[in-house]
Structure 1
Amino acid sequence: MGKNKFHDGPGPSQRQLRVGELIRRALSEVLARGDVHDMELNRMSITVGEVRTSPDLKIATAFVLPLGGRGQEDVLKLLAQNKSELRRAVGKKLGLKFTPDLRFRLDETFDQMDETRRLFAQDEVRQDIEDGFDGDADGPDGPDGDAG
């Protein structure tokens, strides 16, 4: 029962990917232009990193992050309070027959990239990289993939 609905099955269809990207662009533009009648929300710079749609295209989940990463909970709250107006603005901009219900989550990919950078900066990890992973992970052909 603990499955994530975004990662089950064969992955998103081309239509889901296309609609998600169209919504991402439209939502980014709406937020950048301050098209919402909420002064607090308009004062914030918000990055929309990705939008994933459900297979039936009825739900669009936008992964967002405020500029600098500060005020994350405030951003989620303000976006949720204004989601009807945001949905109307996105639908109008895209001319979709049916605009999906918008949901908002924090985009954690930046945190993951920071953690990856931190790991690569560790002496023992850097040493492994510089030594060419002297383990068996490269297989019999060595790190370059050729036998000679």
Structure 2
Amino acid sequence: MATESKRQQRFAGVIQQDLAELFQREGNSWAKGAFITVTKVRVTPDLAIARIYLSFLNTKTAKEDLKQIQSKTSEIRYKLGLRIKNQARIVPELEFFLDDTNEYVEHMDKLFAEINKESRNDS
């Protein structure tokens, strides 16, 4: 995979910042009780598609919350367009994905804790 150009990175940063503010203000109406964090935004070279990775805190139903967000994609894209209309020629299509990095880190921490516990018991 080729590295992103400065233009892509800059545009992704704009989208990430504006979406973060949007989710902070209105995210509760899209995913009840969840705190939504925009962890990463990747933009295609033609800036037509933005892949947004979301992390959900304070919820046990992250996959269902993601489906709720995905069902509201057109509404979110419209609201994003109102925010970036002076900075972008087109508003990219939005694709939302679950960023499960936190879950992976927790899983690895548990595994390491078990390994440490076993090694202490063996000594």
TM tier relative to shorter chain:
0.7 to 0.9
TM (norm. structure 1) is: 0.66
Divergent runs of 4+, >6 A: none
CA positional deviation for 1:68: 3.0
Alpha-carbon spacing, 1:21–1:116, altered in 2? closer, same or farther (3 Å): farther
TM (norm. structure 2) is: 0.78
Matches of 1:21 and 1:109, distance apart in 2: 20
CA RMSD for the aligned pairs?
2.4
Higher strand share: 2
Which residue does the alignment assign to 1:28? 20
CA positional deviation for 1:114: 2.2
How big is each residue's C-alpha offset from its partner over 1:33-60, in whole Å with a ceiling of 9 and x where there is no partner? 11x8xx7416332111111111211111
Q: Which runs of 5+ in 1 are unaligned?
A: 1-7, 127-148
Higher helix share: 2
Q: Which runs of 5+ in 2 are unaligned?
A: none
| Same amino acid, percent of matched pairs | 30
RCO higher in 1 or 2 (8 Å CA, sep ≥ 6)?
Answer: 2
Which residue does the alignment assign to 2:77? 87
1:18 is aligned to 2:10: yes
CA positional deviation for 1:85: 1.1
